Amino acid sequence: MSEALLTLHPYIKVALPVPMRTLFDYKVPKAIALRHELKPGMRVKVLFGKSSRLGVIVALSDTSDWDPEQVKPLTSLQDERPVITQELMALCEWAARYYHHPIGDVIFHALPVLLRKGENAEFRTENWWFTTPQGQQLPLEQLSRAPRQQDFLKAVQQHPHGLSQHAASVLDLAPAAGKTLEEKGLLRREPRSFNKGGEKHAHQTQVPPTLNPEQMHATEHLLDHRHEFNVALLDGVTGSGKTEVFLRVMARLIEEGKQVLVMVPEIGLTPQTLKRFEIRFNTDIVLMHSNMSDRERLDAWLLAASGHAKIIIGTRSAAFIPAPNLGMIVIDEEHDTSYKQHEGFRYHARDLAIKRAQALNIPVLLASATPSYESLTNGLQKRFAWLKLRQRAGNAHIPEMERVDLRGKTLVHGFSEQALANMTLCLERKEQVLIFLNRRGYAPTLMCHQCGWIAACDHCDVNLTVHKRANKLHCHHCDTQKALIHTCPECQSEELFTVGEGTEQIETQLSTLFKDVPILRIDRDSTQRKSAMAKLTQKIHEHDQAILIGTQMLAKGHHFPNVTLVIIMDADAGLFSSDFRGMERTAQLITQVAGRAGRAKKPGHVLLQTYHPDHAAIECLCNLGYEHFAIDGLAERKSLSLPPFYHQVIVRAESGNEHEAMQLLAAMRNDLEPLFSKDVYLVGPYAAIIVRKAGQHRALISIKSAHRVPLHQATQMMSDWLEQSTRQHRIRFAIDVDPLET
């Protein structure tokens, strides 16, 4: 590189994973500038204070706002090519502004963990075993006294194109035997770049079904608009063949050499989704979710970044995956709140994906049986194309929803007589029952019969949940665990009893009522281990007759063809929530769970146990369905000036001290409110619903406006104010743009 070019950008602006909302200037030493072409998106090592940190170059610059004497040189360059592409850098910068979050944290969030730690952005190499000419010809009997070597050589002889170390360990071949054979000159090893494509087996791809007219219409619309930015809301009842529609569109784009990103809410969904995609496409598919090891995630990231992977299936953080030929983003179950990150960098993967697609001029497809109120509004206002599927695909029918009035009834283990009778009949027909209870553990409360003592968390304002199987008391808010006790710590009485029931209790009790029926529980406790979910769903598919008990995990996207009865144990949960989104969530959950019934040829039936059978919401949902319910709900939101008609930002503060967070937010309001635009409305500060969590006292202030610009300005002022003020206090604050919880 010429001297002239060298002096062009003597400075770089670096993002560091620190909570400061700024970039840091460093000098480029000549020795580095001579040998490398620095670009935004490359990682560098720099000195920050006294410690060495990894950072990402955001910009090259001719000047620095700092005294040149004080600007330190960068220590070393980590990459030859950017790990954050230009496209993703722009997305990160947009997100940092929109969510008022420190840019360094955003950029580091966009990278896989190993790259954050400095790992090279290169495919790992793996050793492959090959026979030498002697090894290929050697008769195996000659090794009969060394059976391990014999097995090893035999396996490699059978793989003329080589056997990977990974395959050798799958085949249980002894590594020491391989080394001995190598020393004898019978085998040789060769490192090869890790690349899933090499191990792919050609398989029969499935013949897709003939689309029904609704599916056909949706598919044609999507195909017609597949080369430009647009958002389509594929709003189809559960089992209406939404997946089938986007598989068609994906197939076309993949034929055209494009990559498709499919976002799914939870890992629980991925085994089934992956299988379905694998059957359908003979192409490279990678998964990206939190249940993978850091190395596996980096491998998936590299396969996507190299353009090798044509289909990327991932959870929230996959919104940032690099894909040079990205042709479409699909967001399945778009209403799911797990797309929103609830701590740290509080972004919404759906909104981010839409922004990304807009910049790339590619389409976004949002699919759901219960679209979010935000997306429905966009559909109603014609910003999104609203594609409806109202028939179930094939011969399946929409299940019938029936309310079971619990008032004055005797319940057996929480079930009405009607529910138990229906369950018995269903099992006699060799079909499956799904029981929904959104409460894991054995019981939500442990109480003393003598003095009324209740087991509560020491760090949060909540009761501890009883987990009998694990013999523990567990706080579901801060994760504190204690041994289950049998004596009251207040009065030493041994008459402790549980109140209420969770999934674990229902499982235990039903196993005594239905002795020979397999009972499978699906909740966060039973699916903790890797692949546990895949094993459970496998079991469900193996049995004809079965009882499935689960929390909201069961409600999401699963396809259990033999489930014909769904029992919603407590339809009232969430009906009287203090959060204005409570009704939307309840309706989505009930509709999604109900949608698990009768997905194949057999008709489905849904029982909702309720103490409020005449409640307008429950009645509307059962008789008129989700869309009607949501449109009524939106009218109410509009009349109350609530989102999505008003935009909202919540500022959260927390402190170990009881009043500090509240006082700080009040002082902020006092200082800033006179400066805010008239279009901005403030509520609070007020205490969080659960004030104390993990020892922190939490307060919040809500700010809303019909217009983004004044809201954004006010938020910026609050952010600056808080950054100044919290330096002296031990208070943490967070800004939550478009919050989903209060």
Residues engaged in binding ligand ADP (CB under 6 A) = 209-212, 215, 236, 238-244, 393-394, 559
Task: Compare residues 203 and 515 and give the one whose CB is closer to ligand ADP.
Answer: 203
Candidates 115, 254, 448, 714: give the one binding Zn ion (CB under 5 A).
448
Tokens (6 digits) for 712: 């954004």
450 binds, among Zn ion, ligand ADP, none (CB under 5 to 8 A by kind): Zn ion
Query: Under 8 Å CB-to-CB from 134, ≥6 apart: which residues?
Result: 185, 186
491 binds Zn ion (CB under 5 A): yes
Task: Compare residues 221 and 559 and give the one whose CB is closer to ligand ADP.
Answer: 559
Q: Sheet containing 731-737: give its strands across.
A: 680-693, 696-705, 647-655, 731-737
In degrees, to the nearest 5, what angle opens at C-alpha 738 toward C-alphas 698 and 90? Answer: 115
| Contact predicate 8/40, CB 8 Å | no
Task: Compare residues 122 and 658 and give the one whose CB is closer to Zn ion.
Answer: 658
Candidates 290, 493, 528, 538: give the one binding Zn ion (CB under 5 A).
493
490 binds Zn ion (CB under 5 A): yes
622 appears as a binding residue in the annotation: no
306 binds, among ligand ADP, Zn ion, none (CB under 5 to 8 A by kind): none
Separation CA 130–CA 182 (nearest Å): 10
Candidates 365, 488, 548, 590: give the one binding Zn ion (CB under 5 A).
488
Min dist. Cβ of residue 232 to ligand ADP (A): 14
Candidates 251, 420, 478, 575: give the one binding Zn ion (CB under 5 A).
478
First and final C-alpha spacing in the chain: 55
Separation CA 20–CA 103 (nearest Å): 8
Task: Compare residues 78 and 215 and give the one whose CB is closer to ligand ADP.
Answer: 215
| Contact predicate 655/729, CB 8 Å | yes
Separation CA 235–CA 237 (nearest Å): 7
Task: Compare residues 239 and 633 and give the one whose CB is closer to ligand ADP.
Answer: 239
DSSP state of 94: H
| Contact predicate 46/70, CB 8 Å | no
Q: Which amino acid is at 218?
A: A
303 binds, among ligand ADP, Zn ion, none (CB under 5 to 8 A by kind): none
Candidates 460, 546, 569, 618: give the one binding Zn ion (CB under 5 A).
460
92 appears as a binding residue in the annotation: no
Min dist. Cβ of residue 398 to ligand ADP (A): 12
Question: What's the maximum distance between 2 C-alpha atoms anywhere in the chain?
Answer: 92
Min dist. Cβ of residue 388 to ligand ADP (A): 12
Query: Under 8 Å CB-to-CB from 98, ≥6 apart: which residues?
Result: 737
Min dist. Cβ of residue 363 to ligand ADP (A): 18
Min dist. Cβ of residue 694 to Zn ion (A): 6
| Contact predicate 250/260, CB 8 Å | yes
Min dist. Cβ of residue 219 to ligand ADP (A): 10
Q: Which amino acid is at 674?
A: P
| Contact predicate 105/17, CB 8 Å | yes
Q: Which of 19, 16, 66 is nearest to 43 (CA)?
A: 16
Separation CA 27–CA 61 (nearest Å): 10
Min dist. Cβ of residue 499 to Zn ion (A): 14
Min dist. Cβ of residue 450 to Zn ion (A): 5
475 binds, among Zn ion, ligand ADP, none (CB under 5 to 8 A by kind): Zn ion
Min dist. Cβ of residue 526 to Zn ion (A): 22
Task: Tell me how far CA of residue 336 lies from CA of 53, 273, 583, 608, 697, in angstroms.
Answer: 36, 16, 14, 22, 28
Count of residues for the chain?
742
Task: Compare residues 159 and 476 and give the one whose CB is closer to Zn ion.
Answer: 476
181 binds Zn ion (CB under 5 A): no
Separation CA 38–CA 156 (nearest Å): 45
Q: Is the dihedral of CA 520, 526, 532, 534 positive or negative?
A: positive
457 appears as a binding residue in the annotation: yes
Binding segment for Zn ion among 92-100, 165-173, 473-481, 614-622 (CB under 5 A)?
Answer: 473-481
82 binds, among Zn ion, ligand ADP, none (CB under 5 to 8 A by kind): none
475 binds Zn ion (CB under 5 A): yes
Task: Compare residues 45 and 477 and give the one whose CB is closer to Zn ion.
Answer: 477
Q: Which of 544, 570, 535, 298 is nearest to 432 (CA)?
A: 544
Task: Compare residues 66 and 497 and give the one whose CB is closer to Zn ion.
Answer: 497
| Contact predicate 466/402, CB 8 Å | no
321 binds, among Zn ion, ligand ADP, none (CB under 5 to 8 A by kind): none
Which residues in the 68-87 window bind Zn ion by CB under 5 A? none
Min dist. Cβ of residue 525 to Zn ion (A): 17
453 binds, among ligand ADP, Zn ion, none (CB under 5 to 8 A by kind): Zn ion
488 binds, among ligand ADP, Zn ion, none (CB under 5 to 8 A by kind): Zn ion
236 binds, among Zn ion, ligand ADP, none (CB under 5 to 8 A by kind): ligand ADP
Query: Under 8 Å CB-to-CB from 693, ≥6 apart: which residues?
Result: 459, 460, 461, 477, 478, 654
Separation CA 512–CA 459 (nearest Å): 37
Q: What is the contact surface with Zn ion in residues (CB under 5 A)?
A: 448, 450-451, 453, 457, 459-460, 475, 477-478, 480, 488, 490-491, 493
Please give the annotated binding residues, written as ranges.
Answer: 448, 451, 457, 460, 475, 478, 488, 491
Binding-site residue positions for Zn(2+) = 448, 451, 457, 460, 475, 478, 488, 491
